[in-house]
Structure 1
């Protein structure tokens, strides 16, 4: 899966939209919250409620998954595209990140499925 395919997958989620809050940094949002940081050959995703939970994925794919800078302590990981993380598992991780962020939105801002 490449950057363009991943972006299309993210934007196909209900209520998802593309933003560029910092010049050159593309993110996928739902409501006003980011659920995916799309980078040059990588993606930042919410992979757990805390660092310990997110580290489970790092242990499985130590060469392709790392704690995200600055927000890693909140359960965010950076996943390298084209590595050992299979495309179907990457899609599942996007789904989980999206679901975690939607769950935190006020009910009035949640997209209709």
Structure 2
């Protein structure tokens, strides 16, 4: 499995409640409640996700991971396919991004989409 391929990216994201896809910004974009939480570059060489402030500082210090263009102010990172993260770690950050974005949705919308978040 490689989350850097559209097939595996889609299969992984489809397991998360309330997700949809759209192609925009030269990327394949995964959304929850119409808000982006992960992007797969059209070249399948990068994944962009939202992360916590602490993770942002740690991840952007690693080779192959940097601030995501146009998203960095909001703590988004761009993970290159050659970054020193395992597929499980990339999956972890995709799930965490999903949770961070879903937490910003209204409780009513989360309920409608079947989303339950840890600690909510």
How many positions carry a matched residue from both structures?
A: 108
Q: Equivalent of 2:51, from 39, 47, 51? A: 47
Aligned partners of 1:34 and 1:88: how far apart in 2? 21
- CA–CA separation in structure 2 for the residues paired with 1:109 and 1:21: 23
1:21 to 16, 19, 24: 24
Deviation at 1:21, TM superposition (A): 3.4
Q: Deviations over 1:14-70 (max 9, x none)?
A: 111111234x4210001110000110211110012x4x65121122xx222100012
What's the counterpart of residue 5 of structure 2?
3
Higher relative contact order (CA 8 A, sep 6+): 1
State TM-score, norm by structure 2. 0.80
Please, which runs of 5 or more residues in structure 2 have no aligned partner? Answer: 116-120
TM superposition score normalised by structure 1: 0.85
Q: RMSD value over aligned CA atoms?
A: 1.7
